[in-house]
Chains A and B, each alone.
Chain A
Amino acid sequence: MGHRLSPDAIATLLSNPKPDSLSDIPEIIVQITKLEPKGKSYGFDANDGKMKIKAIFNSRLSSEITSGNIQNLGLIRILDYTVNEIPSKSENYLIITKCEVVSPAPEMEIKDEIRKEEAGIIFKPKQEHEIKIEVKKEPSGILLKPKREMATKSAAQIVHEQHRNMAPTARMAMTRRVHPLVSLNPYQGNWTIKVRVTSKGNMRTYKNARGEGCVFNVELTDEDGTQIQATMFNDAARKFYDKFQLGKVYYISKGTLRVANKQFRTVQNDYEMALNENSEVEEASNEAAFIPETKFNFVPIDQLGPYINSNELVDVIGVIQSVSPTMSIRRKSNNEIVPKRDITIADETKKTVVVSLWNDLATNVGQELLDLADNSPVVAIKSLKVGDFQGVSLSTLGRSIVQINPDTPESNKLRCWYDSDGKETSMASVGSGLSPSTKSGARSMYSDRFSISQITSNPSLGGDKPAFFSIRAYISFIKPDQSMWYRACKTCNKKVTEAVGDGYWCEGCQKNDTECSLRYILVVKVSDASGEGWVSVFNEAEKIIGCSADELDKLKSEKEGSSYQLKLKEATWNPHLFRVSVAQNEYNNEKRQRITVRAVAPVDFAAESRYLLEEISKMKDSP
């Protein structure tokens, strides 16, 4: 060891608890012992060979520790510090604000020089015994720190001991020092973790330029709730696939860590783990209660916007509003048929969202949900991908976990809300709302703004594929004589035909229903300062007319038809923001422009004013 501890370093620190300037501080080198995480920072006992003092690193230095630069049993030179007294305990503690690493961990905690030469294993009686010493097969033959007090031993001595002492299984089974997931890093391979498998992916086969293989991954969670993804390929995958079971707890060591590929990462961890055939995985017995169950991080439905098309997965919890029957979808990639089921859930934000359940979740869990649907159960789902179908859509993955009516505080809170308010509240789909709070929604009503005449005067718009625009316009006319609605299946909203006997037949769901719902399909004239045009509207018309198609139909069939006319009149000359698609249709051998409303949002006058001011200044700037 080149550097030595500064004699009486602790005494020196205590004699000058709050140094005035950096130059005031003499050379102070101490050893770090008992390094452990304390919230965002790390605490330790500073050792000067004679005395010890409780210490803590400034949280800014935490990265130095997690990267392995500052290590337990290593030596540091203290460059800036403060000593505080805890009055209630009449104890001092040292805060390190600046330091530099003098040397990494030697083999042991430095007592005084004499002890070093002793052979054999020295155990400090009050601490845990740790016999496990790993000898890493590195070219330089460095002996790695075992993190416990040990006397110096030659490599030969240790290898001999390893062979002599315990069989591997017994060795693993002894009380071992378990590392929190948060402390793992790629620069230190000597760790054991104790984790629960909170998600297990399916075994996937792949073929690439280098050949074929199989791979699967698991999500591991430790006692603190930290998560990390572990991946296994080929032999390791085959070795551990059956061993890892969802929900069970394992001791794992000899894995490797890498910085996680942000594109593919699904858990919040800068690192990801890989296990190979040499990694060790051992089931921990009797540990059922030790690690908290699946940890959820729920995102309220109206805050799903920012996650759209991101790789980060979300968890949601909501009350079931509807469950569709199982649908069979053909995967374009391999022509495989997979089962899918759509459920609609709602939460206290008064928004609904559709969650697509795939594979097993569609058939098994989905069936359970269908059976329970009338009771409006609470469902909590972990690890969903957020897509943009119909604004916002959620999709399950292999790793997703669905819990029905879980006994958790969030579930109970949701249940209470639903039973008191929620049941009666009318909810809006989070996708179609496009309120300014949803990032994607606000963006689309102010992007690709066109005037009506810009659309109608350009017949080539939407030739290849539909073009999307947003417009601000007034409803100028709704023809009262058109059919306004179509008969729709209550489950999948597709058109139904009258069944042979009673009721209606849905081709998509392949079933009969005595009732159907009415859904809007109509044309409406819109006008703005530039011109006017006809647009097709579907069920978004509810926002324009102010009532559902069922309700409007009731008004229409009233003997005295004036309330129907009045409803349409009230809808006229109201301004709205529309998101429209423009496409070309052939009609009687003529190409016709067809404008369809995709979304409707109320005009936010303040935002609209700002937009107009911007447009005015743009016009002034351009020649």
Chain B
Amino acid sequence: MDTSSPAIFVNGESLQMYVGKKVRSVVQVIKSDGGDMIGKSTDEHQWTIKGLSSAPLMSYVEVIGVAESNQSICAELWTDFGKTFDAYSYNQLCQLANGEFKALFL
């Protein structure tokens, strides 16, 4: 397992802390916009995911890439997680991973 460049678990509110860094998150596909995708983070923020045009609508996808701004990610890898996903639990995970348990992740 390559642990050289870990991707940080982010949601809407934590993305801004890691602009320019490698991040990972699960978003729900809202719509496709040319070569980009508009997605909803697990805490209801609207993001632009660049370089990802073919994701199925309303599916949850995990995106790993570099955070460009506090509202967009440039995707390097993505995985379709399907239509059933517990966004609440994932959101809690992001809060814990960036909060008091940060040391476990970075």
Contacts and interface: CB of A to CB of B under 8 A. Distances in A.
Interface in A184-210: none
Contacts, number: 14
Interface string A266-306: 00000000000000000000000000000000000000000
A605 B85 CA distance: 10
Interface in A600-623: 605-606, 609-610, 613, 616, 620
Contact of A613 (B84, B89, B100): B89
Contacts of B96: 616
B2 interface: no
Nearest to B85: A606
Interface string A117-135: 0000000000000000000
A606 B89 CA distance: 7
Interface in A570-623: 605-606, 609-610, 613, 616, 620
B104 to A, nearest CB: 12
Chain A, interface SS category = helix
Interface in B75-106: 84, 86, 88-89, 92-93, 96, 100
Contacts of B100: 620
Contacts of B84: 606
Interface residues of B, number: 8
Nearest to B87: A606
A613 B96 CA distance: 10
Instruction: Give the bracket for the number of chain A residues in contact with chain B.
Output: under 10
Nearest to A609: B89
A356 to B, nearest CB: 39
Contacts of B92: 613
A479 to B, nearest CB: 31
Interface in B54-83: none
Contacts of A620: 100
A415 to B, nearest CB: 36
A606 B87 CA distance: 9
A616 to B, nearest CB: 7
Nearest to A605: B86
Q: Which of A605, A606, A620 has the most CB of B within 10 A?
A: A606
Contacts of A609: 86, 89, 93
A609 B86 CA distance: 9
A617 to B, nearest CB: 9
A609 B42 CA distance: 15
Nearest to B101: A616
B18 to A, nearest CB: 23
A455 B2 CA distance: 37
Contacts of A616: 96
B3 to A, nearest CB: 21
A616 B95 CA distance: 13
Interface of A: 605-606, 609-610, 613, 616, 620
4 interchain residue pairs of minimum CB distance: A609-B89, A606-B86, A613-B92, A609-B86
Given A606-B86, A609-B86, A609-B89, 11 more contacts: A605-B86, A606-B84, A606-B89, A609-B93, A610-B86, A610-B88, A610-B89, A613-B89, A613-B92, A616-B96, A620-B100
14 contacts: A605-B86, A606-B84, A606-B86, A606-B89, A609-B86, A609-B89, A609-B93, A610-B86, A610-B88, A610-B89, A613-B89, A613-B92, A616-B96, A620-B100
